[in-house]
Amino acid sequence: MLKKIFVLTIFTVLLNGCTEEHSPKRKAEIIEKIGSAPDQVSWDIKVSFIDSSYLKAVLWAKKSRIYNERAETLLDDSVRVEFISKETGETETYLWADSARVDDKTRDMLARGNVLVINKKTNRRLVTKLLLWDNRNQKLYSNEYVKINSPVERLEGWGFESDQNLNNYKIFKVSGVRK
């Protein structure tokens, strides 16, 4: 009789353990995890941005994760963008970042990590931790600390706005200037 009670107790514990896995709360957790999985994952990607047969930019990343429902693409590890001059058809500005998030509706990009932008022609360099590329206005923005170095000046400060080639830029709270 004691053996039957022991076996029945073990069976009941196991049965309760199994039903816990299929509880509504657990199902919701599983669905949430599945729902947050990317729709597409790609490695060593290259994307060309073309407007009216004009190559505007080329983007590379080691890994991309595309989320269709959220309309966003996450770029992981070693992001690089080359902005192409409409007049010459050559790369004018380079952007490197550790990672980035692209809004697939607006094509705005938020670059993160060690962000570096270099204008090849003027040898002007921007360094920051966070940089927004506003596709509609073709501008770069940051609310973070930025450094701009060129052959003729060195500027540092908080907050930044510029065209994509670093030709016309503003630093909002300048903290250091050298010429």
pLDDT one-digit tens code per residue, 120-148: 999 999 999 999 999 899 899 999 999 99
User: pLDDT value at position 3?
Assistant: 57
Residues 8 and 57 in one domain: no
Q: Are 98 and 128 in contact (CB under 8 A)?
A: no
23 vs 20, 107, 109, CA distance in Å?
A: 5, 40, 40
Task: State which H helix or E strand residue 4 sits in.
Answer: helix 2-21
Q: How many domains does the chain have?
A: 2
pLDDT class for 43, splitting at 50, 70, 90? very high
| pLDDT above 90: residue 178 | no
Q: What percent of the chain has pLDDT over 70?
A: 78
Give this prediction's pTM: 0.77
Residues 111 and 158 in one domain: yes
pLDDT tens-digit series, residues 92-124: 999 999 999 999 999 899 999 999 999 999 999
96: how many CB neighbours lie within 10 A of its CB? 16
Residues 78 and 107 in one domain: yes
Residues 61 and 20 in one domain: no
Average pLDDT of span 78-89: 92
23: how many CB neighbours lie within 10 A of its CB? 10
Residues 84 and 166 in one domain: yes
